[in-house]
Structure formats: C-alpha cells, structure tokens
Amino acid sequence: MYRKNAWEHLAEGEREQLMAFAEKYKAYIDAGKTERECVTEAVRLAKEAGFADLKEILKAGQPLKAGDRVYMAWMAKCIMLFIIGEKDIERGMNILGAHIDSPRIDIKQNPLYEDTGFAYLDTHYYGGIKKYQWVATPMALHGVVCMKDGSTVTLNVGEDENDPVFYISDLLIHLAGDQMGKPAAKVVEGEQLNIIIGSEPVKEEDKWTVKANVLKLLKEKYGMEEEDFISAEIECVPAGKSRDVGFDRSLIAGYGHDDRVCAYPSMAAVLDYEGTPAYTLCALLTDKEEIGSVGATGMGAKYFENTMAEIICAIKGKDEPLTLRRCLRNSRMLSSDVSAGFDPNFAGVFEKKNASIVGNGVTFNKFTGSRGKSGSNDCNAEFVAMVRRICDDANISWQTAELGAVDVGGGGTIAYICANYGMNCIDAGLPVLSMHAPWELISKADLWEEYKCYCAFLKGAEELEY
Ligand code: MN
Ligand code: MN
C-alpha cells in the first residue's frame, strides 16, 4: 500500500525549511505549557501577523469583508483565527481544528498541607495518564490565581534555569517489593500524587512549621492567602524545554505534543496564508478534549457556532440563522489530533499495515473510536478522496492509520462533534510515541509534512456534492 518516508522525498533545500519550522514549533510549546499560555502565545503571534481582535470589531459594530484577518479568544482557553474569503460564506469554510489542553496534574482547591517536615500540594490529575510516569522528575507549576477583588495573578515557576522546581516522590527500589508486584495502574495511585513544595520551617507562635513558611513566601511573591487556592487554576507539568532527540536531531521530545503538535501548524497555516482565500479559512484551537470536550471551552460547547453567527452578521449586515446552518453544513474540516505512532518496542498492539509510522508524514484517521468504531466520526469516503487528491497534488508524504489494532483499545477526538453540523471532517495528525507521557516523541519530518498538508488543504478543499 501507499507509503513513503518523508525524509527520502524532501526537495532540494527543504530540510532547512523543515528544521526551521521545528524550531518555531519548539518555541511555541515551550511558551505554551497550559491551554491558557497557548492562547496567550497565539494572540501574540496573531497580532504580529496582522490579525485584529474580533471582539473589538464587533464592539465597534464594524463590518467584515473578504481578506479581513481576525481572531477571537474564548474564556482565555480557546482561540479561533479567521481569514474571510471571497466566496459567499454559506458555501462553507476550510477549517483546521485541534486541541491545546494536554494531560497534566492539577492542584486541588484545598491543596496545602504539611506532613513530617514537608509542605505539599494535593492534586487531581487531568486526562488519561500512567501515574507512575509522573513521579521522581522535576515539575513546574503554571497557572492563575483569581482574587476576590477581580484581579488575577499569573504563576509560572520551574521553567527558568534559576527557578526552583517541584517534585513528586516515588518509593525507593529497596523497599518496593510489594509495589513492584502491583499492576501498573496501582503502582502510584491518584492520591499519592502529592507535590513537595518546601521543607524549611519558620517559627510561628512557638511552633516550627513548614506550611507557614510556604504561605509567607506565597504572600510575599503573589500576594495570595491560603484561601485563594480555591479560585486558582494551577497545573503541574514537566519542567524544562522541549529537546531534539537523536544524533541526527530528527525527533523532538516535548511536553504536550498531544495536541499542540497539531494546534501549532494549524494556526501557522492560517497565519502564514498569503492573500485573500476563495473560501473563508479558520484555525480552531479548543480546550478540554482530554476530558471529553465538555464544559464551556470544550468542542461540545457553542462558542464556535456563536462566533460564526457573529461573523456572518458582520459580513451580511444582519443576523442570518439559515446562512449559519448552511455555512457549517458546507464546511470542510481537518480535525487534527495525534495518532498512536507505531512503536517497534510494543509492536503487538498495532496492526502494521494500518498503523501510523514515524517519518511517513501526516496521518489520516478515517475513524477513531474503540470496540467496533464506537464513538468515532467515520469520515465519508468522498471526503477521504478529496484529501488524497489535495496531498498528492501538493507532493505531501501522508499515510492512513487506525488507533492500534482492533479490540486493543482506542480513543476519540473532536471530529465527531464538528461532524454533528453535517460538515465533512477527517482526523489528520501525526504519529506520537509515548502519548500522554510527561515527555512525548514526534518526528520533525512528520511535523513539516503536516504543516504542508494544512496549507494545501486551506487552498484546495471545496464543497462536496453528494
Ligand atoms: Mn489529542
Ligand atoms: Mn490525548
């Protein structure tokens, strides 16, 4: 079947472009370790690329016309970027969607306690993780503390070389006889993911306490009291920057490739788009995918539809509910999320003919789901044919895959939610090794082919007649 290794098919001089793009991606994921930080960074890049804030345009009652470049952030955790096209918007848009939340360890609302010389923060993990992977390694704390007076303090500790880091302990091997005999899910359990944040006590009312010292430091540095944790969102993530892997520097180990490795090139393809497109273009970066696309910032929420209603009103000069329906129905979307990269160390869970191979380029999943495609968006063959044509015409290395062998497991993405509008939607991402581990692995060649694919899709996708 059709497969080609991306490295073997690079054009003259393309390797330099590929490596340069990987550097930009690394800078993005190093700056964006939380969904909020990803949005902040996206807004910065959008402004730099000449995109205007749609909120301001709407507030001023200004119209939108072909060629306009706008962005809309939603609740500081999602962002949509648009370039208005020449054709009537009811003919649909070319959309690149991905999620910017990643598995992590969140701080509880009442987290701070002291035990036997340590000050700890208690946690509740977010998304599917192998908990034993997240211990005995340097961790950073990122987030916001929202005060009762309406102000917000931003927190980012553990990334700068001079910062302290934080630490979740594991049991020493010498005493781990019982632990080593446990199933992996029980080796480290959720309530054991307690983060060490200090151990030097201060004297308070004749008593030495570590907790009081930590509270004193938090007060000095952030002006926060213990109670303020209640209205905080603090995420504990692996500390440090993404790194090149291999003597050839062909791979990247990074935190949160799932799914920023799709989100960044989706955004970049729209930001880099030159001129006025035929169809309106959209990059849609959403939150909460890892916990089921729920909540006000998940793909299951209405923020995207609402934003489209506003855009149509700004283009047409009046609210046009039917145009909105037609626009969504006629749209084409690459719902981009990472695939399970074939791992020779664990070959048994894959069916190799239908696995995503690292280095073979952008990966299309006609369907995801598990146990008989359950929960999947099973993309129409007609649309698969269109993306094949677009990729081949643009000389892109691409492959198709399933998420593991049949009956082994599975997973879902945002594709099925967007497909609810009737739009044509296919999963398009790239292979990741060690998905949901603190440091995941991807190939720079796949990242490059993915970006090229997204650029070609924005130009080449059009309405489908059935
Ligand atoms: Mn994902
Ligand atoms: Mn995931």
Q: How far is the CA of 103 from the centre of ligand 2 (A)?
A: 7
Which conformational region is residue 66 in: left (phi greater than 0), alpha (psi within -120 to 50 degrees), or beta?
beta
Cβ density class 346-372: b for 16+ within 10 Å, e for less: eeeebeeebbbbbbbbbbbbbbbbbee
Q: Is the bond into 259 cis (omega within 30 degrees of 0)?
A: yes
Tens digit of pLDDT at every position of the chain (466 positions) = 566 899 999 999 999 999 999 999 999 999 999 999 999 999 999 999 999 999 999 999 999 999 999 999 999 999 999 999 999 999 999 999 999 999 999 999 999 999 999 999 999 999 999 999 999 999 999 999 999 999 999 999 999 999 999 999 999 999 999 999 999 999 999 999 999 999 999 999 999 999 999 999 999 999 999 999 999 999 999 999 999 999 999 999 999 999 999 999 999 999 999 999 999 999 999 999 999 999 999 999 999 999 999 999 999 999 999 999 999 999 999 999 999 999 999 999 999 999 999 999 999 999 888 888 888 889 999 999 999 999 999 999 999 999 888 988 888 889 899 999 999 999 999 999 999 999 999 999 999 999 999 999 999 999 998 8
Residue 195: partners with Cβ closer than 8 Å, 6 or more residues away: 105, 107, 120, 121, 123, 139, 141, 166, 167, 168, 236
- Residue 443 contacts residue 253 (beta carbons within 8 Å): no
* Concatenated DSSP letters of 391-458: HHHTT--EEE--SSSTTT-EE--SHHHHHTTT-EEEEEE-EEBSTTSSSEEEEHHHHHHHHHHHHHHH
- Distance (Å) from CA 174 to ligand 1 centroid: 37
What ligand has the least distance to the C-alpha of 440?
Answer: 2
Query: Quick one: which ligand is closest to 98's CA?
Result: 1
List residues, by chain if needed, whose CB lies under 5 Å from ion ligand 2: 258
Residue 336: what pLDDT? 94
> Which two structure tokens, joined as six digits, stand for 410?
């599975």
Q: Which ligand lies nearest the alpha carbon of 427?
A: 1
pLDDT at 2: 60
C-beta separation of 293 from 368 below 8 A: no
Q: Tell me the ligand closest to 259's alpha carbon.
A: 1
In the prediction, which pLDDT does 260 show? 98
Distance 438 CA to ligand 2 centre (A): 12
How much is the pLDDT for 383? 97
Neighbouring CB atoms inside 10 A of 326's CB total 18
Angle at 213 between CA 211 and CA 217, to 5 degrees: 115
Residue 41 CA to residue 329 CA, distance in Å, equals 31
How many whole angstroms from 416 Cα to the centroid of ligand 1? 13
* CA 254 / ligand 2 centre spacing (Å): 14
Classify each residue of 81-105 as buried b or exposed e, where b means 16 or more C-beta atoms within 10 Å of its C-beta: bbbbbeeebbbbbbbbbbbbbbbbb
Residues that place a CB less than 5 A from ion ligand 1: 258-259, 337
Ligand approaching nearest to the C-alpha of 365: 1
Ligand 2 center to 414 CA (angstroms): 11
Å from CA of 226 to ligand 2 middle:
32
CA of 412 to the centre of ligand 1 (A): 8
CA-based Rg of the chain, rounded to a whole angstrom?
A: 23
Query: For residue 191, how far is its CA from the centre of ligand 2 (angstroms)?
Result: 22
Cα separation values, 424 from 292, 370, 420, 462, Å:
21, 21, 10, 10
- Helices 14-31 and 444-460: crossing angle in degrees, nearest 10, is 100
Residue 82 vs residues 46, 132, 135, 450: alpha-carbon distances, Å: 10, 41, 41, 20
Give the closest residue to 270 by CA, choosing from 424, 147, 93. 93
